[in-house]
Amino acid sequence: MKLVTRRLTPCWVLVSAFVLFTGHVKTLMAQNLNESHERVYATLTWDGAGAPLGRFLLIRKDKAVCAVRFTKVQRGHDAKPETTFNSGEESFSAEYDWYFQEDGSGDFTQPGVLSGHEQLARKPLKGIGRLAFQTGQIYVKCGTFDKLLWLYPTWVSFYGGSRRGDYGIELAPTKWTEIKEVNVHDPRLKWYRYDENRKPVDIPLDDL
């Protein structure tokens, strides 16, 4: 597999953590604004991974496995000057299909597989300072996985909540476009976990 070190350009906001304060989550997300790039490369960072648009990203912990395929991503191009109660940041949205299998077989063709289609939205923060909060839906939900942070355009974080760290979540970008193609036990799959020492890399579609 050929890994291409990602060069961080000025279009990146190099913050990918979030702060929990009085029950509100203030999202500080890394934003990659080059959507065309994400159609032909999977992306891997120290705290998240994303499959190319329209391809499945596999998520697993213990026996539970989820397959997520982002079907649409969109920028709002609606940034406004910051005000006292509104960050004015540009909005982002996405849609994704999900399939969930928890019996340990990894077989998504079984009758017991759960599935759905969801929407995500990152909106300008509202509030003041550390009391600012996010009103959009920024977490990927799939079966028992319900607190994994979404990063535009097609990334999923290895952790959820207010603390960064290794929660036992593994991610595997794939080139598969149909759920019937997904084989969790395919030896060619490369599974990744949270790793603060890993540098951002791009993985060409042909190498997945």
- Please state whether beta strands 170-173 and 56-61 pair in parallel, antiparallel, or not at all (unpaired): antiparallel
pLDDT tens-place string over residues 13-31: 323 333 332 232 333 344 4
pLDDT digit string (tens) for 62-88? 999 999 999 999 987 877 787 766 666
pTM value is: 0.81
| Closest listed residue to residue 75, CA positions, set 117, 118, 32 | 32
For residue 43, the cross-strand partners are 50, 202
Residue 171's pLDDT band, with cuts at 50, 70 and 90, is very high
Taking residue 92's Cβ as centre, other Cβ atoms within 10 Å add up to 22
Alpha carbon distance 139, 68 (integer Å): 13
